[in-house]
Amino acid sequence: MRALIRIACVTLLTANSPALAQEKSQQNAADEAAVKGDLAKAKDSGDQAAINEAEKKLEQAAEEAKRKTDESARTTGQAPGPK
């Protein structure tokens, strides 16, 4: 859940224009839905290894989104996202 909140925060902080914000928001929502779907499927299966892998993917997605936000902030002069 913490990772999902981070993804949402990163999405909001990376917006440089309304059109770009909309595009990033749609892509992030699609990515988040895919990862959440994988996690739900793993939980339904009851396979602990699959659950762990899905949770790891979710954390990695949040870290990647944050990294992209920080890189974008450096190139645009905006403040970096929350840690």
Model pTM score: 0.55
pLDDT of 40 higher than 80: yes
Closest CA to 64 of 72, 53, 75, 54: 72
How many C-beta atoms lie closer than 10 Å to residue 45's C-beta?
11
Helix (H) or strand (E) holding 64: helix 48-76
Interatomic CA distance for residues 42 and 54, integer angstroms: 7
Tens digits of residue pLDDT in 44-54: 999 999 999 99
Sequence-distant (6+) residues with CB within 8 A of 21 are: 11, 14, 15
What pLDDT score was predicted for residue 42?
92
